[in-house]
Chains A and B, each alone.
Chain A
Amino acid sequence: MEIEVPGGSLNPGSGESGVGESGSEKSFSVLQVDLADEESERENEKYLDEEKEEETAEHLLERLMQLPYQVFILSESGRPIFVNSGNEEQLCSLFAVIGIFVERIRLWGDNLITISSNNKHIQFLHKSPLIFCIVSKYPEKLDEQLDVLFEQILSILSKSQLENVYKKKGDNYDLRKLLRGTDRLIESSVSSWRGSPISFVDSSISVIPMNPSDREFLANTMAGSLGAAKLEGALFGIMIAHRQIASYVRFKKYIMHPRDMNIVINLVSDKSLQLSDASTWTPICLPKFNDTGFFYAYISYPWQSQNIPACLVLLSVKRDHFDGLNEVKKSIVEKLEGNSKFFQNFSAAVICPNLFNISQIGNFNESLWSFIYLNHSSKQVCISASK
C-alpha cells in the first residue's frame, strides 16, 4: 500500500512501529514523495499510449465535452498545470488560448470573468501566478468552484511557496513537478463540491445525523483528550465520515473556516489514506486560517478494520506533535469504545448515515417535502430526506 499526499507524506508505519523514530528530523522529511504503484503506472502509460494513437485531439475534445465539466489550471505564461481529464499535453494549445484571453482583457485594464454560449459556461479566475478556468454545462456557482480549486492548490503549496516558485525557478517552471501525485485531490476537490448538496449554500459543511447526546459525548471525549494532552499548538480535532463531520472540537480562540474544513475533508477522503491500523502525518496549508504556513495533520481511520469509515483528524501547528497526537487518538478511541451504547450508535450512524428526517422539525405541514437548514454562525448544514 502506498500513500500520496500533498507536499509529501509520511506513513509512520503500521501499528506502533513508526512512533519510535517520529521525533527525528528524518522521519518528517516532507520532500516530494512519488510512490505510485509501479505496475499500475505502467498500465496507465500503456493505456495513454493506446489512447493517443487511436484518438485525435479533436475526438478527445468531443469526448471530454460530453462530461459535465472541465477544469483547467495553467501558469500565466500559458503552460498547462492541470486538467481534470489528465490530458494536459493534448490540450496544451487550448491552455495557451485561455492564458491569452485572460491577458488580453487584463491589458485593457479589466478582468475576464466569464464567457458563455447557449449551453456552455466558462468561468475564469486569475490569481497570480496561476490562471483557473472551468467549462461547465451549468452556470451555477462556477466562481466558487474556482476559489475552491485555488485553495486546494494553496493547501498543497501554500501561498508563499506558490508565489516564490516562479520567481526562483523562472517563468518557464513546470509546476506539475511540485504538484506531482496530487491530481486526484485536485480533481476530487471540485467533483465532490459539485456532487454535494452543500454547494447550494456558500462555504458550508454538512453534518452527519447523530443522536444529540451521542454527539455531545463524542465532542466531550475528543475535547477532553485533546485538552488533557496539553499540546500547545494542537488546535483542532475533527471526526469525519462520508465527507461529513460527526464532531469538531477546537482550541480556545481558534476557529476553522468551512472552506478549510472542506480541504481537510477532501484530503482524508482520499482512498490512499484509509489505512487500517496506521496513521498518517502530513503537512497541510489551510489558506483561510493562514495561507503562508502549514499545519500538520494527524489522520487515522481507527476502525477501518471493522469497516467503520470514521476518520479522526487532529491538527497541530507543530511538526513534532505526532507522538503526542497519537496518544490523544489512543485515549479518544479507548474512551469511545469504552461506552458500548455510544459506540454501537456511533457505528450505526457512520456506517449507514441517514438523512435527517422531516419529522425532526415537526409534522405540522403536510406539504413540506424537504428541508435544508444552515446555521449561519457555524456554517453547518443539515439536509433532510425528501418525503
Chain B
Amino acid sequence: MESITNPLYFFTGSSSTQNHSSTSSNVIRFIDILDFFFIAHPASGRKEGEEHKRIMYFHPKGESVDRQTEVTGFAEAVVNFTDNFLTSREINSHDSDNFDYRTVSTQKTEHVYIQIEDNNFLMGVALSKQLANVSEYPLFQPAIRSILCDAYKMFRMFFGTYSSFNHQENDSKFKDRLDFFFSRSVPLLKCHKMPLLDHLGGVEFLRMSGPLYLNVVSLINELQEEFQQIDKIMFLYQDKLLYYQLSRRDLPTIFRYLTQNLLPNSIGPELEGANNRAKGRYLRGPIELSTDEPLLGDESLPVVHLFDNQNGEDEYLQRYQMLVYRCLNSTVCMFVKYNTENTNVSRRLLRNIDQFLESELSQVANRIGEEIGSEVSEPTDFHYIYFNPSSLSMTSSLSSRSSSSSKVAIPPVEVNRLVCDTIGKFISDSEEFGECFVKSETDWWIVVKKVNSRLLVLIIPPSSSTSSLADIQSKTSHIVRHHFDAIFFT
C-alpha cells in the first residue's frame, strides 16, 4: 500500500482506547455483530462481466468476489426497486447529510444501505441477529444507520468526499484509502447497548456558571484576535464540550474523534508527568517548538475536511489544519484554513500560540476544575437520556463516557429494546411535543417526554413505589423538577 503523507493520527493505539472506557459494559464492539460492510460505486459495475468492479471496499476481506458481487448487487437492486414505490418528490429529497437509506430485514440479519454523494455511492452494512443476541444488543435500524453514516462522515473528515478521488482514473488509490481507513476504523467502532444513544448522536456539554462561561468565551475571542489565521475553535473540558464554532454537521464527528480517539490516547503521558501538568502542549504535530524548521513528515499537522459557510451561503467542504492544545483538563482545538501554497501553520505560529495559551488556559482550566469539583452529583435511582436536537446536547446515564452515574444496573436488553420501539413507534420525529408511559413485562417503566423537540427518556427500575400509572407520573414530575428543571422547561 502506498504511504499516506499525513501522519497516522487517527486510531493509534486501539488497545488504550478500549482500556479507557472503564464502563465498557455500556457498549459492545460493532465488529462482533457484523456480517458484512461494503462501499460500492454502482456506475463502475454496469458492464456485463464487470459487475464486481463496483465493489470499492468489502469486509470481511476473505469473502469471495462472487459473494461480494451478489451482496452489493442485491443492495443496489433494493434501492432501485424501492424507488418504484417512492413518488419522484420523495426520491429527490436528499439534502445535506440526511442520506437516503434502505433497510432490509431477514430472518437472520438486519441490513442498512445509505446512498451518498448524489447517490453515486452506496454503503451498506448487515448485522447478525444471532450475534446481537449473544452480545445482548437490541438491533435498532435507525441506530445502525447512524453508525454507518458516522463511519462515512469520519472518512470524509479525514480524506474528503469519495467523489474527490476521481476514481475513474484512480480506482486503486481510492480503494487503498478506503482500505486503510475502514480496516482500522471498523474494528474500533462501538455500539451503545442503548442504541438510542448512537441514533441521537449528540455531544455532551459541560454545564457551568455564566461568569465562568464568559471567561472561556473571552479567552477564545482574545485568541482569535491575536491570531487571525485561526478560523474555528472548539473548547473541551475533560470529555465535555464548552464552546464550538464548527458546523453542526461536523460537530458530532470531530467530538467523537477527540473524545474517543485523540484525548484518551494522550491521557497516559499527562498522568505520568504529574508535576508538569500546568504546562500546556500540542497533542499532534511537533514537540520541539524552539526552531524554525519546516513541519514535515511526522511533525506535520493533521488536515481535516470541515464544512464552512462563512459567506452565509451553502456549506461546502474546506480543508483545515488542526491544532489541538491541551492544558490540565482543558483542550483547545484550533482550525486554520489549509492551502497548498506556503501559508500554512509554521512552528513559529505554534510557538506563539503556546506562549499565549500557556498561562491563560491554565488559569481558566483551574477555575473550571474548582467549579466542577465542588459539584457533587449523587447517583440517580433511574436511568435517563436527554437530547436537545437544536444544540445537539445529549446527556445520559447510559453513555459509555458518562460521568453522571446511576445506582441502577444497566437495563436488560428487552427494556432497551422497548425504549427503542417506544421512540420508533409512538414518538413522532416531526412532532415537537409528545408523552408516553410504557411498562415492560418485567415492571420497568419507560417514560418519554418531548417538549419543544427536546427529548427526555426515563428508564425506571421495578419498585414497589412505582406500581401504578399515577405513581409513575408523580415520580416523573419529581425527577424533572430535581434533575432536569434547568434544561428541560425554559
Q: A117: which of B88, B102, B105 is its contact (CB, 8 Å)?
A: B102
Is the CB of B275 closer than 8 A to any CB of chain A? Answer: no
A105: chain B residues at CB < 8 Å are 74, 106
Looking at the assembled complex, report how far the CB atom of A212 sits from the nearest CB atom of chain B, in whole angstroms: 30
**Interface pair B105/A122, CB less than 8 Å apart:** no
Contact status of A97 and B103, CB under 8 A, knowing A65-B86, A104-B70: no
Is the CB of A348 closer than 8 A to any CB of chain B? Answer: no
B101: chain A residues at CB < 8 Å are 117-118
Is the CB of B19 closer than 8 A to any CB of chain A? Answer: no
Contact status of A117 and B106, CB under 8 A, knowing A104-B70, A104-B74: no
A117: chain B residues at CB < 8 Å are 82, 85-86, 100-103
Looking at the assembled complex, report how far the CB atom of B427 sits from the nearest CB atom of chain A, in whole angstroms: 15
Q: When chains A and B are docked, how far (Å) is the Cα of A104 from the Cα of B82?
A: 16
Is the CB of A368 closer than 8 A to any CB of chain B? Answer: no
Name the CB-closest residue of A to B90.
Answer: A119
Is the CB of A373 closer than 8 A to any CB of chain B? Answer: no
Interface residue tally for chain B (C-beta within 8 Å) = 22
Identify which of B84, B88, B108, B109 gathers the most chain A CB atoms within 10 Å of its CB. B84
Looking at the assembled complex, report how far the CB atom of A301 sits from the nearest CB atom of chain B, in whole angstroms: 40
Binary flags per residue of A60-75, CB closer than 8 Å to B gives 1, else 0? 0110011000100000
Contact status of A111 and B100, CB under 8 A, knowing A97-B81, A119-B90: no
Looking at the assembled complex, report how far the CB atom of A218 sits from the nearest CB atom of chain B, in whole angstroms: 38
Contact status of A61 and B84, CB under 8 A, knowing A97-B77, A101-B78, A117-B101: yes
Is the CB of A112 closer than 8 A to any CB of chain B? Answer: yes
**Interface pair B103/A116, CB less than 8 Å apart:** yes
B102: chain A residues at CB < 8 Å are 115-117
Chain A contact-residue range equals: 20 to 34
**Interface pair A118/B85, CB less than 8 Å apart:** no
A111: chain B residues at CB < 8 Å are 106-108
**Interface pair B100/A115, CB less than 8 Å apart:** no
Q: B105: which of A70, A101, A113, A135 is its contact (CB, 8 Å)?
A: A113
B70: chain A residues at CB < 8 Å are 104, 108
**Interface pair B106/A110, CB less than 8 Å apart:** yes
A104: chain B residues at CB < 8 Å are 70, 74
Q: When chains A and B are docked, how far (Å) is the Cα of A66 from the Cα of B87?
A: 8
Q: When chains A and B are docked, how far (Å) is the Cα of A113 from the Cα of B105?
A: 5
Q: A110: which of B85, B88, B100, B109 is its contact (CB, 8 Å)?
A: B109
Is the CB of A288 closer than 8 A to any CB of chain B? Answer: no
**Interface pair B87/A65, CB less than 8 Å apart:** yes
Is the CB of A114 closer than 8 A to any CB of chain B? Answer: yes
Looking at the assembled complex, report how far the CB atom of A113 sits from the nearest CB atom of chain B, in whole angstroms: 5
A65: chain B residues at CB < 8 Å are 84-87
Binary flags per residue of B259-294, CB closer than 8 Å to A gives 1, else 0? 000000000000000000000000000000000000
A113: chain B residues at CB < 8 Å are 105-107
In B93-126, which residues have CB < 8 Å from any A CB? Answer: 100-109
Looking at the assembled complex, report how far the CB atom of A133 sits from the nearest CB atom of chain B, in whole angstroms: 11
Is the CB of A36 closer than 8 A to any CB of chain B? Answer: no
B87: chain A residues at CB < 8 Å are 62, 65-66
Looking at the assembled complex, report how far the CB atom of B115 sits from the nearest CB atom of chain A, in whole angstroms: 10
Name the CB-closest residue of A to B111.
Answer: A115
In B61-83, which residues have CB < 8 Å from any A CB? Answer: 70, 74, 77-78, 81-82
**Interface pair A115/B103, CB less than 8 Å apart:** yes
Q: B85: which of A101, A114, A120 is its contact (CB, 8 Å)?
A: A120
In A34-82, which residues have CB < 8 Å from any B CB? Answer: 61-62, 65-66, 70
A351: chain B residues at CB < 8 Å are none
Is the CB of A94 closer than 8 A to any CB of chain B? Answer: yes
**Interface pair A115/B81, CB less than 8 Å apart:** yes
Q: A94: which of B84, B105, B107 is its contact (CB, 8 Å)?
A: B84
Name the CB-closest residue of A to B106.
Answer: A110
Q: When chains A and B are docked, how far (Å) is the Cα of A71 from the Cα of B90?
A: 21
Q: When chains A and B are docked, how far (Å) is the Cα of A113 from the Cα of B139?
A: 15
**Interface pair B88/A62, CB less than 8 Å apart:** yes
B100: chain A residues at CB < 8 Å are 117-118
Looking at the assembled complex, report how far the CB atom of A92 sits from the nearest CB atom of chain B, in whole angstroms: 13
A120: chain B residues at CB < 8 Å are 82, 85-86
Looking at the assembled complex, report how far the CB atom of B437 sits from the nearest CB atom of chain A, in whole angstroms: 14
B109: chain A residues at CB < 8 Å are 110
Binary flags per residue of A91-134, CB closer than 8 Å to B gives 1, else 0? 00010010001001100111111111111101000000000000
Contact status of A101 and B84, CB under 8 A, knowing A114-B105, A118-B100: no
Contact status of A122 and B85, CB under 8 A, knowing A97-B77, A104-B70, A110-B109: yes
Looking at the assembled complex, report how far the CB atom of A61 sits from the nearest CB atom of chain B, in whole angstroms: 6
Identify which of A101, A117, A120 gathers the most chain B CB atoms within 10 Å of its CB. A117
Q: When chains A and B are docked, how far (Å) is the Cα of A165 from the Cα of B430?
A: 49
Q: When chains A and B are docked, how far (Å) is the Cα of A111 from the Cα of B103?
A: 14
Q: When chains A and B are docked, how far (Å) is the Cα of A116 from the Cα of B107?
A: 15
Looking at the assembled complex, report how far the CB atom of B378 sits from the nearest CB atom of chain A, in whole angstroms: 35
**Interface pair A135/B81, CB less than 8 Å apart:** no
Q: When chains A and B are docked, how far (Å) is the Cα of A117 from the Cα of B115?
A: 11
Looking at the assembled complex, report how far the CB atom of A96 sits from the nearest CB atom of chain B, in whole angstroms: 11
Name the CB-closest residue of A to B107.
Answer: A111
Instruction: Please report B residues at the A interface, Cβ cutoff 8 Å.
Output: 70, 74, 77-78, 81-82, 84-88, 90, 100-109
12 contacts between A and B (CB under 8 A): A61-B85, A65-B84, A94-B81, A94-B84, A97-B77, A108-B70, A111-B107, A114-B105, A116-B105, A117-B100, A120-B82, A122-B85
| Leading 3 A-B pairs by shortest Cβ distance | A111-B107, A114-B105, A110-B106
Instruction: Please report A residues at the B interface, Cβ cutoff 8 Å.
Output: 61-62, 65-66, 70, 94, 97, 101, 104-105, 108-120, 122, 135
Other than the given A65-B87, A97-B81, 16 more pairs (CB < 8 A) read: A61-B85, A62-B87, A62-B88, A65-B86, A97-B77, A110-B107, A110-B109, A113-B107, A114-B103, A115-B82, A115-B105, A117-B85, A119-B86, A120-B82, A122-B82, A135-B85
